[in-house]
Structure 1
Amino acid sequence: MPQLSPYQYTGPVDCTIPPNYEVLKGKSVIITGGANGMGEETARAFAAEGAYVTIADLNEARGKQVAEELGPNAQFLKCNITSWDEQVTMFEAAIKNSPHKSCDIVIANAGISRASGDDLWPLDDPNAPPVKPELNIVNVNLIGTMYTWKLAVHYFRKQPDTEDRDRSFIITGSMVSWIDSPANWQYTSSKYGLRGLMRTARRNSHEQGIRINYVAPCYIKSAIRSATYEAQLMSKGVEFAPQKDVATCMMKLATDRTINGHSLMIAPRSVAKEGYMDVGMDDHVKEGYFKRTQEIQLDIIEDKWEVGWSKGRTPEGAIKS
């Protein structure tokens, strides 16, 4: 498996260094939610550089069309990421049909927003019985992506163990993981949760040769918004970034094996000339309580992500007497 060093903060990612597109040739890439928007743009970008792309999505008509347009470098597999069984089937088929029977890069991009309906937000009649909310956004964005992570780890470990293979997991998050976004209750909670997954997993991911990173778009140009609404947003100071910058950021993370445990944000060119930059808010570098507590936590939590390690430990990680 790829040999990686334990996570250690050494400063922000140098985003002025462009992706090494050459290493994408022959790589197998799974992109959930790859039939539209940022996922589609990313699928097209990877396929154009010689990677074999599996587009996993519920939108069968659009997914098949995109895969057909990309020719022999792509396939479409219908998949609801909230279904464990459907994701297993998708991973199996993705690997079976890939040129090297491999799973090198997994981009957990599928997700839904407040537009899908956030049942935590409405105020119900206080004189009527309480209404149980549907947590569809959490189920898709957080639970579905956790399924994707669990399966990616499984199949990363089964692939050919050669130096040219990779084990890269990328999460499509959101800038709401750092900023307040009123009324986006489930969406914000789910994206915070995914950022927490990345920050936790990065501490052990090297033990299985896996890199995990987080991409945080904010306002991205998209056909899903009406021109009227887009104009309203711009009148309030919103600067949009193009979808192609998301794809380039994904390729930067997928091709640079020195990057693990970072959050890159998609920013307008007025902020970042490359279209993306390191958020720089995932590590405690200043002396004080947070830095000291983080160091203590890393010292007391000794868990290794290795087969059989837990046999001599209690469920909480203590050494069995």
Structure 2
Amino acid sequence: MTKVALITGGTSGIGFAVAEALSKTGLWQVNIIGSDQEKGTKAAASLPQTTFYQADVRNYENLATTFDQIFNVGRRLDFVFVNAGIAGYDDHYAEESDNGIPPKPDLSVVDINMNGALYTSYLAMHYFRRSPESTKGDRHMVFTSSIGGLYPCALGPVYSSTKHALIGWVRSTGPRLWKDGIRVNAICPGVVGTPILENDAFESLFPREMWVDMQLVTETVLRLLSCTEMVDGKGMRVGSDEMHSRALHISGDTFFFIEMPDFHDEAAPFTWNAMMYGKLNV
């Protein structure tokens, strides 16, 4: 039976590349979501078994209606790629010349990268649970974070904060959702050639030889969807039953599983267990 994928930010960049890779397998009905009708229609027309839906991830009602339309076609949902995002390198350090109240900062990057991702995740949970029982364990939610979600980014601190938040969300919700047969993971690519980076200023900061090949990103996502054991660039091996709640840093020509920080005293693991599971011991 054909599986159903929903990809936000699917009309270009990483989202479109993953849509293309899935559509070529012939095993997926791919649904790409974006805000630009013309771009989305053109993107979907270039791929087999792909449909475009115009929606704004910042608008919950709009996004929820789109999820419902997609689900009602095949009465199932197998993969949600929480990918929509913008770079958002506004100058958050700007100094004003007078002593009055400063202008309101532009936090649209938070609305898209974080709020939109949380809306998407919330809706994905609902429709995964309405999918056939046989799909449990093979339901996937993959978030696009960033190297800027693993390491600080002074160039774009608001952007970096949203990407850190996504990793926190994956690690916090992943164990609980795995009980519902939903695998939640995050990819954290380095610099990838996408429309938001294709200008001279970025190339002066990040020479192309440092960029991550788009094919590596799509291959990593498809490997996550395969539900099989994966081995990273340092030889760390993660079995199928443990393939959830993970952050994968994609860099160079490989990927690396990034673990949570170590505990440094006896109190920390007890505190964490209480935070995660509502009890002191697991």
Q: Is the TM-score greater than 0.5? A: yes
Which of 196, 210, 213 is residue 242 of structure 1 equivalent to?
213
Report the counterpart of residue 306 of structure 1 in structure 2: none
Structure 1 residue 93: Cα displacement? 1.3
Report the counterpart of residue 75 of structure 1 in structure 2: 51
Residue 37, structure 1, aligned to residue 13, structure 2 = yes
What is the rounded CA distance, in whole Å, between the counterparts of 2:178 and 2:193 in structure 1?
35
What is the rounded CA distance, in whole Å, between the counterparts of 1:234 and 1:143 in structure 2?
28
Count matched residues. 265
Can you list the C-alpha shifts for 1:50-69, whole angstroms capped at 9, x where unaligned? 21111001122121112112
SS of 2:51 mapped into structure 1: strand
Residue 261, structure 1, aligned to residue 256, structure 2 = no
Report the counterpart of residue 87 of structure 2 in structure 1: 113
AA partner of residue 120 (structure 1):
H
Structure 1, unmatched stretches of 5+, are 1-24, 304-316
Can you list the C-alpha shifts for 1:87-117, whole angstroms capped at 9, x where unaligned? 111101111233xx211110000001125xx
Structure 1 residue 143: Cα displacement? 0.7
* 8 A Cα contact 1:27 1:165, kept in partner: no
What is the rounded CA distance, in whole Å, between the counterparts of 1:61 and 1:300 in structure 2?
46
What is the rounded CA distance, in whole Å, between the counterparts of 2:132 and 2:273 in structure 1?
32
SS of 1:143 mapped into structure 2: helix
Report the counterpart of residue 264 of structure 2 in structure 1: 288
* 8 A Cα contact 2:12 2:195, kept in partner: no
What is the rounded CA distance, in whole Å, between the counterparts of 1:174 and 1:65 in structure 2?
27
TM-score by length of 2: 0.85
What is the rounded CA distance, in whole Å, between the counterparts of 1:224 and 1:266 in structure 2?
18
Which of 277, 287, 298 is residue 256 of structure 2 equivalent to?
277
Structure 2, unmatched stretches of 5+, are 228-239
Structure 1 residue 245: Cα displacement? 1.5
What is the rounded CA distance, in whole Å, between the counterparts of 2:137 and 2:195 in structure 1?
35
Structure 1 residue 70: Cα displacement? 1.4
SS of 2:249 mapped into structure 1: strand
What is the rounded CA distance, in whole Å, between the counterparts of 1:300 and 1:151 in structure 2?
24
Which of 199, 202, 222 is residue 251 of structure 1 equivalent to?
222
AA partner of residue 127 (structure 1):
N
Identity %: 24
* 8 A Cα contact 1:219 1:238, kept in partner: no
What is the rounded CA distance, in whole Å, between the counterparts of 1:301 and 1:231 in structure 2?
42
Which of 129, 141, 154 is residue 182 of structure 1 equivalent to?
154
Residues 47 and 181 of structure 1: is their aligned pair in 2 closer, same or farther, counting only changes over 3 Å?
same
Which structure dedicates a bigger proportion of its chain to strand? 2
Residues 112 and 223 of structure 1: is their aligned pair in 2 closer, same or farther, counting only changes over 3 Å?
closer
What is the rounded CA distance, in whole Å, between the counterparts of 2:212 and 2:60 in structure 1?
33
SS of 1:56 mapped into structure 2: strand
Structure 1 residue 207: Cα displacement? 2.5
What is the rounded CA distance, in whole Å, between the counterparts of 2:59 and 2:275 in structure 1?
36
Report the counterpart of residue 236 of structure 2 in structure 1: none
RMSD: 2.4
Report the counterpart of residue 297 of structure 1 in structure 2: 272
Structure 1 residue 206: Cα displacement? 2.1
SS of 2:97 mapped into structure 1: coil
* 8 A Cα contact 2:137 2:178, kept in partner: no
Can you list the C-alpha shifts for 1:184-219, whole angstroms capped at 9, x where unaligned? 021011011111101111231122221110100111
Q: 1:227-238, aligned counterparts within 5 Å?
A: 228-229=200-201, 231-234=203-206
What is the rounded CA distance, in whole Å, between the counterparts of 2:182 and 2:176 in structure 1?
9
Structure 1 residue 173: Cα displacement? 0.2
AA partner of residue 187 (structure 2):
V
Residues 163 and 91 of structure 1: is their aligned pair in 2 closer, same or farther, counting only changes over 3 Å?
closer
Structure 1 residue 120: Cα displacement? 3.0
What is the rounded CA distance, in whole Å, between the counterparts of 2:275 and 2:64 in structure 1?
35
Residues 148 and 300 of structure 1: is their aligned pair in 2 closer, same or farther, counting only changes over 3 Å?
closer
Structure 1 residue 230: Cα displacement? 5.3
TM-score by length of 1: 0.76
